[in-house]
């Protein structure tokens, strides 16, 4: 590197001497991230190669786009895409506004203790594990013995098994997701609302605004930057629909609507050892996610000057 003059070199050396303790503190983290996050990125090559046990992540014969076309021509391709997109989009469309609405409601509660109690309760489900959450759904929704399952079949006058029907998989998935996480996700919006100056409300009151108008013209605008950032982030995950919950909720009866890309990757890759093929499917998924994220960020940057980078 000829561009580094002796002077520059000396300066770098001095800086290193000055900052060596900082480097000591951050290097373990860097090493772990390189090994466990960046080396797998290097291993993405596997999607374009045949996996060769003896030669590791990047040693097999080059196959180009072979595994991608195998996936796209697979008879399951459109089902997988449709299921993944339906579950993700429904989760976003219904699940994204829920914590915002919840925060707007909680923000109206002026009694300190009541508000704290409500917050404690609505945050709590967030800490339940996914296995317990799905277990909870199973015992509560069971058509024979579950209290909710019985209630619903009484109301609807049908003998529907919510856990095993292709029609109810998405609603059960999304509603339980909202139940579990809307409270927790509302924290960030409540934090944003707490920064609104009280004088704005006073001024609005003098102008004759009622509480509805205050929510509409003060609270919601105050949330917009937070909403946009969180929305972009959630778009980046549009096809990344949580493997674990879908996987645990799957059964042979709801499989036609519950098989998504991530569960398929698991089955093809881990269970039947088709490493290259499932790497290609996984990469396909990652690239679409990344594309959504970049696009949303670009749109947001153009229209509101708010962006992740």
Partner 1 sequence: MQATTIHKRSTGEILFDISIIILCVLIFLIVAYPLYFVIIASVSDQTLVSTGKVTLFPRGVSFFGYEQIFQDMRIWIGYKNTVIYTVLGTLFNLLLTIPAAYTLSRQEFRARRFLMFFFVFTLFFNGGLIPTYILMKDLSLTNSMWVFIIPFAVNVFNLIIARTFFEASLPKEIYESASLDGCTHFKFFFYIAIPLSKSVISVIALYYLVAHWNDFFTGLIYIHSNDLQPLQIILRDILLSNQVFSQGGGSGGSAGGYAQQFADQVKYGVIIVSTLPILIVYPFIQKYFEKGVMIGSIKG
What residues from 86 to 125 belong to the interface with partner 1 (CB under 8 A)? 102, 105-106, 108-111, 114, 118, 120-125
Binders of partner 1 among residues 191 to 230 (CB under 8 A) are 191-192, 210-212, 226, 229
* Angle in degrees, 0-180, between the axes of helices 220-235 and 169-194, rounded to the nearest 10: 130
Single residue of 68, 77, 96, 179 touching partner 1 by CB under 8 A: 179
Binders of partner 1 among residues 30 to 59 (CB under 8 A) are 30, 32-33, 35-44, 46, 51, 56-57
Question: Which residues have a Cβ under 8 Å from the Cβ of 284 and sit 6 or more positions away?
Answer: 68, 71, 261
Q: How far is the CB of 302 from partner 1 (least distance, A)?
A: 19
Helices in the chain by DSSP H: which ranges?
Answer: 6-33, 39-42, 66-72, 77-95, 97-108, 112-123, 130-141, 147-156, 169-194, 198-206, 211-214, 220-235, 243-249, 255-258, 261-266, 275-304
d(CA 130, CA 126): 9
Single residue of 4, 13, 14, 26 touching partner 1 by CB under 8 A: 26
Q: How far is the CB of 218 from partner 1 (least distance, A)?
A: 15
Q: How far is the CB of 257 from partner 1 (least distance, A)?
A: 18
Q: How far is the CB of 91 from partner 1 (least distance, A)?
A: 19
Single residue of 3, 6, 28, 113 touching partner 1 by CB under 8 A: 28
Measuring CA to CA, which residue among 287, 245, 277 is closest to residue 263?
245
The number of beta carbons lying within 10 Å of the beta carbon of residue 114 is 11
> Judged by CB under 8 A, does residue 135 bind partner 1?
yes
Binders of partner 1 among residues 260 to 299 (CB under 8 A) are 262, 265-266, 269-270, 275, 278-279, 282-283, 285-286, 289-290, 293
Q: Which stretch binds partner 1 (CB under 8 A): 72-80, 85-93, 164-172, 240-248?
A: 240-248
> What are residue 212's DSSP bridge partners?
none
**3-class DSSP state of 49:** strand
């Amino acid at each position: 590197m000829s561009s580094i003059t002796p002077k520059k070199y000396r300066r770098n050396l001095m800086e290193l001497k000055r900052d060596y303790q900082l480097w000591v503190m951050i290097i373990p983290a860097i090493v772990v991230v390189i090994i466990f996050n960046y080396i797998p990125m290097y291993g993405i090559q596997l999607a374009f190669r045949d996996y060769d046990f003896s030669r590791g992540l990047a040693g097999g014969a080059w196959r180009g786009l072979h595994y991608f076309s195998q996936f796209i021509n697979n008879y399951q391709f459109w089902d997988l895409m449709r299921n993944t997109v339906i579950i993700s989009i429904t989760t976003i469309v219904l699940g994204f506004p829920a914590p915002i609405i919840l925060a707007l409601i909680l923000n109206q509660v002026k009694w300190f203790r009541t508000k704290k109690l409500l917050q404690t309760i609505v945050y709590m489900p967030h800490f339940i594990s996914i296995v317990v959450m799905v277990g909870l759904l199973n015992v509560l929704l069971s058509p024979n013995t579950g209290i909710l399952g019985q209630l619903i079949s009484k109301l609807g006058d049908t003998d529907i098994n919510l856990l095993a029907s292709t029609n109810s998989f998405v609603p059960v998935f999304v509603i339980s997701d909202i139940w579990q996480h809307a409270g927790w996700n509302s924290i960030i919006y409540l934090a944003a609302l707490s920064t609104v100056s009280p004088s704005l409300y006073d001024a609005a009151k003098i102008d004759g605004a009622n509480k509805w108008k205050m929510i509409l013209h003060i609270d919601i605008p105050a949330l917009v930057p937070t909403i946009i950032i969180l929305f972009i982030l959630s778009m980046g995950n549009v096809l990344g629909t949580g493997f674990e919950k879908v996987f645990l909720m799957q059964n042979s009866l709801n499989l036609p609507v519950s098989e998504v890309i991530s569960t398929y990757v698991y089955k093809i890759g881990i269970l039947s050892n088709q490493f290259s093929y499932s790497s290609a499917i996984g990469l396909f998924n990652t690239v679409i996610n990344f594309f959504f994220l970049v696009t949303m960020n670009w749109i947001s940057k153009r229209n509101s000057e708010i962006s992740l980078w």
